[in-house]
Copies of this chain bind each other. A is one copy, B any other.
Amino acid sequence: MVPCNPTRRTLLASALAPLAARLDGQSGPSRIERWGLFELTLRGPRDGNPFVDVHFSAEFRYQHRSIPIDGFYDGDGVYRIRFSPDIEGEWSYITRSSRPELDGKQGTLSCTAPSASNHGPVSVRNSWEFAYADGAPYLPFGTTCYAWTHQPDALQQQTIETLRQAPFNKMRMCIFPKWYEYNRDEPRLFPFPRTAAGINDYTRFIPEFFRNLETRIAQLRSLAIEADLILFHPYDHWGYALMPPDADERYLRYVVARLGAFRNVWWSVANEWDLVKGKQPSDWDRYFRILQESDPYSRLRSIHHSVVMYDHAKPWVTHLSVQGDEFSKTAEWRAVFRKPVIFDECKYEGNIPKRWGDISPQELTRRFWLGTASGAFVGHGETYLNPHDILWWSKGGLLHGQSPRRIAFLRAIMEAAPRGLAPVAGAYYSCIAKAGEYYLYYLDYHQPALADFNLPADAHFEADIIDPWEMTAVTAPGTYSGRFQLKLPGKPMLAVRFRKA
């Protein structure tokens, strides 16, 4: 075990501290908190092309359990293995490599209790909901900054500062840079070496590109934001959307080895898979299978479409990542796929001359409520014209819109709700409920002055009249039971919540 180059490590350490253990040759066992990130760094060969020539992995053991973990080459003769232990106690490891200097290295790590803000990774619980590994509920209220990690450092940092005040706990973001309207800047860093003539060497990675990405993922983690990493997308002019199959696979395995140990990583196999010309449906299946095989943590896996929905019944899809506003299909999708449904893209609040990027804050707020009351989760994006073309939806920066405050209000309401909410079939207005306990109706453009409800007759409920735009919730006098009519303000776009008294 050889200490790695301290200069390089500084950047990473600042990103990963305090949760990544550094092995600087100390003799005792490393201490790492549960779901934290343990990193083993070794020096090894620099000759040839270590990215493809050297096989390097480790076996992590806890009692009789053994977990194989792939390592990765980080350039300059530095090899790393990252591991996120999921159980407290004493772990040991031993490395395996095709090169003797990296083979058979052993060590131990002591996995301690997680710190207060560490709830572990998110996974699917109870078919339609997510939860952290410690059992804490996780309700995705995501946003989208596709290319924020490809912007100048100061802008990336501004994005983080904005997120610190924002209501979002998931970020949709591309690993590859993006080439699209409002996105015509060449990034400072590329994932692969590239000649001046634009020829990529897909057999090598540029570690600095990935180090920056990891810094940002770690910052998101510190803000309790899940990083929904988009692995492929069509908005490319460098070649990444159409790499040879072996390059695709090497890329996926490298990404999993480098990033998979971050507990806040999700895999979004594509943004708009059906718009990537030249790939076959079987290619997308193959990417999922590579993730399944290579990811020891089974991080969440989804695939996002433009027009043609991928077959979400396939077993490697953990949840639906939908584009559109067909919230009324949520109940059917929940029933058919038995997976959580996230409308990750339902158009963006903004004013650009694009109908996907010019909806009003009222309309986006409405969509969040409509989706939520349909039993789905909804994602945010923002596209206001900017003199420097810094639009949140791609580059991050500042938020200018009026919907985030309302999304925060909705998030607080939903986090205060019981778990196990399900859409109520045949409800008169969109409704999710936990039978006998909690009912949340969203009335959309309806404005009844009196509304009929039918709650269980054997319980009493308090009624709150919620104004999603004004962000008020007013408790109506009395309690309610069975069939009754509730007086309402006769104003559209309200919600009504009933909670067992």
Secondary structure class of chain A's binding surface, majority of residues: loop
In angstroms, Cα B351 to Cα A452, docked, is 12
In angstroms, Cα B384 to Cα A447, docked, is 10
Would A450 and B385 count as touching, CB distance under 8 A?
yes
Check A492 for interface membership: any CB of B closer than 8 A. Answer: yes
Would B449 and A385 count as touching, CB distance under 8 A?
yes
Q: Which of B385, B445, B448 contacts A352, CB < 8 Å?
A: B448
Would B385 and A351 count as touching, CB distance under 8 A?
no
Write out the residue numbers on chain B whose beta carbons fall within 8 Å of the beta carbon of A385: 449-450
Check A490 for interface membership: any CB of B closer than 8 A. Answer: yes
In angstroms, Cα B357 to Cα A428, docked, is 12
Would B492 and A448 count as touching, CB distance under 8 A?
no
Q: List residues of A (348-362) whose CB comes within 8 Å of B's CBs.
A: 350-355, 358-360, 362
Closest to A490 in B: B351
* Contact flags A271-309 to B (C-beta < 8 A → 1, else 0): 000000000000000000000000000000000000000
Would B492 and A446 count as touching, CB distance under 8 A?
no
Would B352 and A446 count as touching, CB distance under 8 A?
no
In angstroms, Cα B359 to Cα A490, docked, is 10
* Contact flags A177-214 to B (C-beta < 8 A → 1, else 0): 00000000000000000000000000000000000000
Would A450 and B352 count as touching, CB distance under 8 A?
yes
Write out the residue numbers on chain B whose beta carbons fall within 8 Å of the beta carbon of A359: 445-447, 492
Closest to A453 in B: B353
Tally of A interface residues using CB under 8 Å: 26
Closest to A356 in B: B446
Would B358 and A448 count as touching, CB distance under 8 A?
yes
Write out the residue numbers on chain B whose beta carbons fall within 8 Å of the beta carbon of A491: 360
Check A451 for interface membership: any CB of B closer than 8 A. Answer: yes
In angstroms, Cα B360 to Cα A470, docked, is 17
In angstroms, Cα B447 to Cα A429, docked, is 27
Check A134 for interface membership: any CB of B closer than 8 A. Answer: no
Write out the residue numbers on chain B whose beta carbons fall within 8 Å of the beta carbon of A350: 447
Q: Quick one: given A360-B492, A362-B492, A492-B360, are A485 and B353 in contact (CB under 8 Å)?
A: yes
Q: Quick one: given A385-B449, A449-B385, are A428 and B355 in contact (CB under 8 Å)?
A: yes
Q: How far is the CB of A214 from chain B (nearest CB, A)?
A: 37
Beyond A360-B445, A360-B492, A363-B445, 10 additional pairs, beta carbon < 8 A: A351-B447, A352-B449, A353-B450, A353-B452, A353-B485, A355-B428, A355-B429, A359-B447, A363-B492, A385-B449
The contact sample of 20 A-B pairs, CB cut-off 8 A, is A350-B447, A351-B448, A351-B449, A351-B450, A351-B490, A352-B448, A352-B449, A352-B450, A353-B449, A353-B450, A353-B451, A353-B485, A358-B448, A359-B445, A359-B446, A360-B446, A360-B447, A360-B492, A362-B492, A363-B492
The 4 closest A-B pairs by CB, nearest first: A360-B492, A363-B445, A351-B449, A358-B448
